[in-house]
Structure 1
Amino acid sequence: MNAPHPPKVAGIDSTVPTPAHTVAPAPPAPGATPVPAPNGPAPGTLLQDRLAGWVSDLTTLHELTERLVRTDSLDGALRELLRAGAALVGARRGLVVLEPADGLGPDSTIGLGLGRADLGHIETVPRGAMSYGELLDTPAGLPGGGEIRHPDLFAEDGLDPRHREVAARLGYAASYALPLTTDAAGRLGAAVWLYDEPAEPDERRRHLAGLYVRYATEHLARLVEVERTRACVATLSEELLPSRLPRVAGVQLAARHRTGPRGGGDWYDALPLPDGALGLAVGSVTGCGPSAVAAMGRLRASLRAYAVMEGEDPVAVLSDLELLLRLTEPARSATALFAYCEPALRKVTLAGAGHSPPLLIGERRTEFAETSVSAPLGMLACWEAPSVEFEAEAGETVLLYTDGLLHRTGDPTDRAFARLHAAAASVPRALRRDPAAIADHVLRTVLPDGLDAADSPEDVVLLAARFD
């Protein structure tokens, strides 16, 4: 005979089984007079059960907060907040709306058990009719700024018709919402959990959820600041790079740039020079963060000046750049490659300082250009290396790149070079006329599975020049 099922309540759906909070009574001492059992449990047993319940709650909160602090991205933290909150309040679905009150962003909406289309339906409901809208539009500290419970939406008077329609379409009948607010950062957003049937968490579950959400919001506030810093550094880095590539007869250009989360010093440049020539440059400054980005901007601006004055001699350009770096920033080093191109002759003269060799991609060959071994700028008392000349055939593309492309693969150097060569050799024939398509293909092939995303640690630069 099957045991009866307990009634359905909104409670903790913990992944750890709840331990029994009772202890077997001790056997009576020999010769002791039996004491009749009282009508109810002993006070000590009640206190013991209560303490065991508190320990269980604290253990659950500890496990959930441990999972939260292991998230290192804002998106991951928001998803963990939704999952943990759903377990605490006994819900199956929910959404979190991130919308900092200072208006500086980032803004996002993430769902648990809700697809993009479902979130789109919810966003069609007037904002003030939704729990998150009430929380986001209520000033902190005023009545209504705390939790919002709707234990039975369809039984409420005055439910917005559009809200009723969306709730019926998505199949939820109750909701429980909490604000994401801290004393220091103010309002960050709101979290809402949805129930398939009329339900609400009891007082104990609401208390646990409130404790967890307060802690989670502090973690979110730190990640919001990190995300803003990343966006600021990325914007600064992009602004210091060319806003558009020049148009030079006889050559087509394309560039791709991926900035790491901490902001690095990888850069590229392409500038027209006298007599129809073209200067191409890529490089990387040691370090990361705003200081490396600023150093990159200074180095790139200086190289442009040296290229205009003596671009036909790449060794002289890099020598001047090395002297400037050594005098102005003695604690920093950099790698660089500068190429002086004559498109009419398809002739390239280049010099490199500790930089990876360019890659020639054509119909009849895919090979690395032979360059001399040299040290990075700022590493020796006086940098010097010979230049190298080669001629590109009609239709060939010269691909310049920074070491971040190789480092992001996580492979040893020789294997990373082999991966790059294989990616370049596999460019489909139909794409070889477009340097942008070649750069995209190489980037996707060398860095699959999201390694080309902005949260990968290394900066990546590709600069492709296809000769007509």
Structure 2
Amino acid sequence: MSTPPSWTSPKVAGIHRPFPPVSHTPTPPSRNTGPAGPGRPPDTAEVRLAGWISDLTVLQELTERIGRTSTLREAVEETLRAGARLLGARRGLLALRGPHETGRPPGAERLIGLGLERAELGQWETVPRASACHTRLIDDEEPLREIGHPDLATADGLHPRHRAVAAGTGCAASYALPLTTEAGDPFGAALWLFDRPGQPESRQRRLLARYLRHAAGHIAGRRELAHAREALAVVRDGLLPARLPRVAGVTLAARQRTAPRGGPACWDVLPLPDGGLGLAVGAASEAGPAALAAMGRLRAGLRAYAVMEGEDPVAVLSDLELLLRLTEPGRPATALFGYAEPATRRLVLASAGHPPPLVLGEGHATYAETALSAPLNMLSCWEAPSVELELAPGETVLLYTEGLLRRVGGPLDRAFAGLRTAALSAPAAARADPEALLDHLLRALPGGGGAQAAGASGVGASGVAGDTVLLAARFD
């Protein structure tokens, strides 16, 4: 039914008003301004003015509340709560049209409910699009201003499935409005459901329409931000290895946790000629899409140099530093590269301003003494010696980024001590399984005061935690 029903009926059963209604009458105010006597009604102008002030106060409160939301879900849930308050409803749902670039079929919407269980929300998704109010508001070529059904059991033009879902979820009436862009194009719709037959008053509908004009703009902004973050996450994941290689004599595991505003990080495990294995982690000091793209180029360069001269980690980082200086001027980064020989349990490391690896064995956890050095692309020439480790059977080498230290919080020495303590507290079964070990460390270091941790090298000293990367290699 494309034509909205008439709202002239005074029936309001099932509409629970959260604040007393104020009558707005078009009758001109009385010219008698004297005090109201026993038989004289109060001044209509004063009543109307009081109603306007009450309405503006409510709208101001609700718009301030939605303005404090920071995510798309928070904005949608606040909009549903505000609409329920204005209409006196208990339940509702909001549908957002899916973006075309995600590959979903046209017309796919994302539903978020208020007071509806997941199963009930799923039932409303089964209502045919030609009958459901929220999909009609989105699909119709001529956008509708509102769709209301004062009595879903007797409303004309509803699909039998629509009536069945309404009866099954205990909904007797509904009222829906579209969410439109500034150009007037609908990108979503909000639907509120009532327990008993009834309809909102004209004043309630007018207040809700004014509120939704503001809320729609806020939701559209949060929606664009959410889409941008999802796209960035797809790119970020695409710059990392899709899977870990299987190498005889060593067991590998990796974890990455992204930070909302921190610098990106990368890791890599690369099988090399003659049975060698390259292990690498790196982190950038800046944040944003440009830093993420630079980190992708850094990983690509590191892989190329590792294939050519991986047995010499110092040469790999020296060439990488030259590449960054020529292609990424003024953009420093930390990196650590290790060349491992699983057959002999020999590991050669070189670090450019990166935190030292942690070696875990039976009853001990010690940091490898890598030489202090500047990050890549910070000085005119990078130099640092390599460190060679002879590992015992069953020992695990943990490579990580500064983001893990920031999860510990506090000064740098306290962060290193906290990481070592967390590693020593791992059960024997976790120490024997790199996957379980990394899960244990992430649980033991949840990241409460990470913003207070000192920088491991001066990079990232802005106090914003970067991405957390953990790479574990257990040698048999």
Give the 3 Å change call, closer, same or farther, for CA 101–315 of structure 1 in structure 2: closer
Instruction: Indicate conservation of the 8 Å contact 1:348/1:392, yes or no.
Output: yes
Deviation of 1:18 (Å): 9.8
Question: Paired residue for 1:249?
Answer: 248
Tell me the distance in 2 between the aligned counterparts of 1:229 and 1:302.
27
Equivalent position of 1:298 in the other structure = 297
Correspondence for 2:135: 133
Q: Distance in 2 between matches of 1:393 and 1:81?
A: 60
1:143-182: CA deviation from partner (whole Å, max 9, x where unpaired): xx22111111123245433333332332221111111111
The 8 Å contact of residues 237 and 263 in structure 1, kept in 2 or not, is answered as: no
Secondary structure of 1:227's counterpart equals: helix
Give the 3 Å change call, closer, same or farther, for CA 12–320 of structure 1 in structure 2: farther
Q: Residue 349 of structure 1 corresponds to which residue in structure 2?
A: 348
- Contact 1:265–1:295 under 8 Å retained in 2: no
Shift of the 418–175 alpha-carbon distance from structure 1 to 2, 3 Å rule, reads farther
> 1:11, 1:205 within 8 Å by CA — same for their partners in 2?
no
**Letter of the structure 2 residue corresponding to residue 119 of structure 1:** L
Using the size of structure 1 for normalisation, the TM-score is 0.85
Question: After alignment, is 189-198 or 312-321 more displaced?
Answer: 312-321
Deviations 1:298-336 (A, max 9, x none): 111111222222222222221222222223222211011
Change (3 A) 1:219 1:35: closer
Give the match for residue 111 of structure 2.
Answer: 109
| Cα distance in 2, alignment partners of residues 457 and 431 from structure 1 | 27
Give the conservation status (yes or no) of the 8 Å contact 2:408–2:419.
no
Q: What does 1:430-445 align with in structure 2 at a 5 Å threshold?
A: 430-445=429-444
Corresponding residue for 1:398? 397
Alpha-carbon offset, residue 184 of structure 1:
4.5
Gaps of 5+ in 2: 1-11, 25-33, 451-463
- After superposition, where does 1:86-105 map in structure 2 within 5 Å? 86-100=84-98, 102=100, 104=102
Q: Which amino acid aligns with 1:83?
A: R
Instruction: Could you tell me which runs of 5 or more consecutive residues in structure 1 were left unpaired when the two chains were aligned.
Output: 1-6, 22-33
Q: Does 1:460 align with 2:468?
A: yes
Identify the residue that residue 325 of structure 2 maps to in structure 1. Answer: 326
- In 1, Cα distance between equivalents of 2:275 and 2:78: 57
Q: Give per-residue Cα distances to partners, 1:241-294, cap 9 Å, x unaligned.
A: 222222222112222223334584211111112221111110112222221111
* Residue of 65, 68, 71 corresponding to 2:69: 71
Distance 1:103 1:54, change over 3 A: farther
Measured in 1, the distance between the counterparts of 2:147 and 2:362 equals 66
State the alpha-carbon separation in 2 of the partners of residues 299 and 360 from structure 1: 26
3-state SS in 2 of match to 1:155: coil
Q: Note if contact 1:233-1:262 (Cα within 8 Å) is conserved in structure 2.
A: no
Identity of aligned pairs, percent? 58
Change (3 A) 1:284 1:215: same
Q: TM-score, normalised by structure 2?
A: 0.83
For each residue in 1:207-236, what CA deviation from the matched residue of structure 2 results, as whole angstroms up to 9, or x when unmatched?
111111121111111112111211222111
Tell me if the contact between 1:363 and 1:396 (Cα under 8 Å) persists in the aligned partners.
Answer: yes
Aligned to 1:31: none
Alignment of 1:194-273 (within 5 A): 194-261=193-260, 264-273=263-272
Match of 2:120 in 1: 118
Residues 13, 457 of structure 1: alpha-carbon distance in 2 compared, 3 angstrom cutoff: farther
**What code does the residue aligned with 1:180 have?**
L
SS state at 1:245 partner? coil
Is 1:82–1:112's contact at 8 Å kept on the other side of the alignment? yes
In 2 relative to 1, CA 332–87 (structure 1 residues): closer, same or farther, beyond 3 Å? Answer: same
Residue 100 (structure 1) shift: 4.0
How many correspondences in the alignment?
437
> Which residue number corresponds to residue 57 of structure 1?
55
Shift of residue 381, structure 1, vs aligned partner:
2.5
Distance 1:236 1:35, change over 3 A: closer
**Following the alignment from structure 1 to structure 2, what is the Cα–Cα distance between the partners of residues 239 and 64?**
41
Mark the CA change 1:292 to 1:178 in structure 2 (over 3 Å): closer, same or farther.
same
Partner of 2:28: none
Instruction: Give the partner amino acid of 1:188.
Output: F
Deviation at 1:65, TM superposition (A): 1.1
Which amino acid in structure 2 is aligned with residue 187 of structure 1? P
Residue identity matched to 1:52: A
Query: In structure 2, do the counterparts of structure 1 residues 448 and 125 end up closer, same or farther at CA, with 3 Å as the change threshold?
Result: farther
Distance 1:304 1:196 in 2: 63
* Corresponding residue SS for 2:392: coil
Give 2:370's aligned residue: 371
Distance (whole Å) between structure 2 residues aligned to residue 56 and residue 457 of structure 1: 46
Q: Distance in 2 between matches of 1:379 and 1:192?
A: 56
Pairs within 5 Å for 1:406-445? 406-408=405-407, 411-445=410-444
Contact 1:89 1:205 in 2 (8 A): yes
Q: Shift of the alpha carbon at 1:202?
A: 0.7
Quickly say closer, same or farther: Cα 1:305–1:409, change in 2 above 3 A: same
Shift of 1:12: 5.2
> Aligned partners of 1:304, 1:164: CA distance in 2, in Å?
61
Q: Tell me: CA distance 1:385–1:324, structure 2 relative to 1, closer, same or farther (3 Å).
A: same
Kindly provide the CA deviation profile for residues 372-400 of structure 1, in whole angstroms up to 9, marking residues without a partner as x.
22221122222222222222222222221
8 Å contact 1:10–1:202 — kept in the other structure? no
- The verdict on how the C-alpha distance between 1:394 and 1:185 changes in structure 2, with shifts beyond 3 A counting, is farther
Residues 35-92 of structure 1: CA deviation (Å, up to 9, x unaligned):
89484336xx322221222122112111111111111111111111111111111111
Conservation of the 8 A alpha-carbon contact between 2:406 and 2:465: no
Q: Distance in 1 between matches of 2:17 and 2:366?
A: 61
Matching residue of 1:46: 44
